[in-house]
Structure 1
Amino acid sequence: MRLAYPVQKLQDWFTQQWVILWGKRIEPDAVPWLMGPFGKLGAIGDDFVTQLAEAEDLIIERNAASHGLIPSIKDLKLSDAEFIRLSQNIIEFYENTSRYKLTLSVQWNPLFKIFGNLVMSLFSNRIKQLNIPTNNTEKSNLLNSEIITLKEPKSNDVKYTIWYRTFISTGQVLYSGVYSTCTLPCGKICIKAVFPLPKGNATVIMLPSVGPKGELRLDSSGAKFGDPGFYFLLSDSKGGFWSQYIRSFRDHLTIYWDEETIFGEQTLTLWHQRVLRLNYEIHRK
């Protein structure tokens, strides 16, 4: 049996060993739709940006005036009817995310709040990643939202687009994720968010659709490996790669335009039970 990398925090080792025991061995070349950057040991935050740039000889560009999570909404290959229906304000946000500021409020299901506190104390606070507040917030927290790009030095092409979000009041990292599109084995094109973790990452793959009022819906629901959903990836002590598909954990995000403001409502569920809801307000800077 393969073992997780030994010289690290015990809780990280156990989590990775669980992925090895219950997940599957993967070959990176066989699953290009799934692969993404891994973090190194220790804190993640924006440290991994420098580490990734050095490892792949890339140029870091921060605070660019106009960069989006995806280069063009057309990359999602929506149907003609969906593309016509999709709000132009939402298209502008996804193609020029760096021009926008966000606020966040959080509502936890009390049944899962203990689990949230445990994750924060064991992992999130220490590694500076996936730091969702564990207290319900009636007032919105203002976020610092930054798009960081890593570019090829010769062609100047963007290889990685990183959305780095921190709380302005505390400087605490909320998310540090690499965003792109991917094509699943079934041929569907999805939005992929990769959140680097020590010796691995957490990857969320979300299938886009457009609702009747022009809202963008992103859904990570799936039934099996290769579907949209939530994946853990890691490298073991011998350099082998593993992935665990978490079918029971799902992420539903709706982005909509209403009264001169873009709103986002994100619901995370486990075993079809709501864990928490994140509400965003998105405004031009």
Structure 2
Amino acid sequence: MWSSIDRGTRRYWKTVGRQVDLASEHAWLRAPISADPQATVADNWLATEAQRVGGRVARDPDAGLLPDIDALAGPGFDPARLHPTVRDFYEHTARWRMEAWVQWTPVFAPGGALITRLFGRRVGQLALPVRPLDTARGIDSRVETLLDADGTHRGAAWLRTARATGEYIYSGFYRATRLPGSAQPSVHVSFPMPLGTVQVFLRPEVGADGALRLVSPPGPFGADGAYVTIVEGARAWAARVPLHERFDVYPDGARLLRTDHTLALGRATALRLHYLLVPMGT
């Protein structure tokens, strides 16, 4: 039954999307996938991706989502204006622990619960917390870096699990990417799925007091925003989806960070999350 549902889901995205060439014109959409449609995603895709590129996975307790946030420097973003604590979090994410709170808009809560139950927990990916108590015991995370054969950084996997159950919530791949025709690099986050990905390109901005704002706004195909890709052998399809996110990462006191995360479908807010980010040992 689940195989039939998954095939139907992939068929839907192929129908509403467009065929793309990940080897050339649409290489900006190339991202790790979970190649086995029957396997749990979790962190299994990471070793497969390392083998595909002839590289290796590095487990560094000091690793960050970006080795240097200056990689995002561009006409719309000056990293020098960021608060030092914000920079430290992105360049040394593994040093930090997190707590999370969640609030769904009532009309979207049943859909969120259905997606988490039917897909998220089953495949070990995008299992969004539904109830506030789902994250009451906190979220465990680790960062693993994907390197080329010559040691070049290709991206970082941020793997987050519910502390109470050990179940995967998010398994994402982070890097800086420049979209076609854009002089401003974006934060590129991809979530491997069976034979595909969910990808978000986030535009960086500097907010008040050195805060970092990341936004995936509405726009045309090829601009910052959210995409679903399906990959079957040498053929691929991609669809832009009306999913919009905003992250505000800001300092709270001398060493703490907080993050307000809003997820909207079209113009309607579906989900709000709040994170407290604390350096290890604090």
- The alignment partner of 1:111 has SS state of coil
Root-mean-square deviation (Å)? 1.9
Give the whole-Å Cα distance in 1 for the aligned partners of 2:77 and 2:156.
28
Q: Which of structure 1's runs of 4+ aligned residues deviate more than 6 A?
A: none
TM-score (norm 1): 0.91
Q: Which residue number corresponds to residue 152 of structure 2? A: 157
Letter in 1 for 2:230: L
Matching of residue 278 in structure 1 with residue 265 in structure 2: no
| 8 A contact 2:125–2:171 mirrored in 1 | yes
Between the two proteins, the alignment pairs up a number of residues equal to 275
- The alignment partner of 1:11 has SS state of helix
| 8 A contact 1:205–1:229 mirrored in 2 | yes
Matching of residue 262 in structure 1 with residue 257 in structure 2: yes
1:113 is displaced (CA, Å) by 0.8
Runs of 5+ consecutive residues of structure 2 not aligned to the other structure: none
Q: Which residue, out of 189, 194, 206, partners 1:193?
A: 189
C-alpha distance 13-204 of structure 1, shift in aligned 2 (>3 A): same
Q: Which residue number corresponds to residue 77 of structure 1? A: 73
Give the whole-Å Cα distance in 2 for the aligned partners of 1:23 and 1:116.
23
Give the whole-Å Cα distance in 2 for the aligned partners of 1:15 and 1:139.
28
Q: Which residue number corresponds to residue 20 of structure 1? A: 14
1:106-145 matched pairs, under 5 angstroms: 106-137=102-133, 140-145=136-141
Percent of paired sites with the same residue: 27
Give the whole-Å Cα distance in 2 for the aligned partners of 1:56 and 1:223.
32
Runs of 5+ consecutive residues of structure 1 not aligned to the other structure: 1-6
TM-score (norm 2): 0.92
Matching of residue 211 in structure 1 with residue 211 in structure 2: no
Which region of structure 1 is more displaced relative to structure 2, 31-40 or 187-196? Answer: 31-40
Letter in 2 for 1:102: M
Q: Which residue number corresponds to residue 34 of structure 1? A: 29
Cα offsets for 1:183-241 (capped at 9, x unmatched): 011312100001000001000100000012211000001311011111001113x5311
Letter in 2 for 1:46: D
Q: Which residue number corresponds to residue 164 of structure 2? A: 169
Give the whole-Å Cα distance in 2 for the aligned partners of 1:138 and 1:164.
17
Q: Which residue number corresponds to residue 11 of structure 1? A: 5
C-alpha distance 242-10 of structure 1, shift in aligned 2 (>3 A): same
Q: Which residue, out of 42, 58, 64, partners 1:61?
A: 58
Give the whole-Å Cα distance in 2 for the aligned partners of 1:135 and 1:256.
25
1:73 is displaced (CA, Å) by 1.2
Q: Which residue number corresponds to residue 222 of structure 2? A: 226
| 8 A contact 1:98–1:147 mirrored in 2 | yes
- The alignment partner of 1:185 has SS state of coil
Q: Which residue number corresponds to residue 44 of structure 2? A: 47
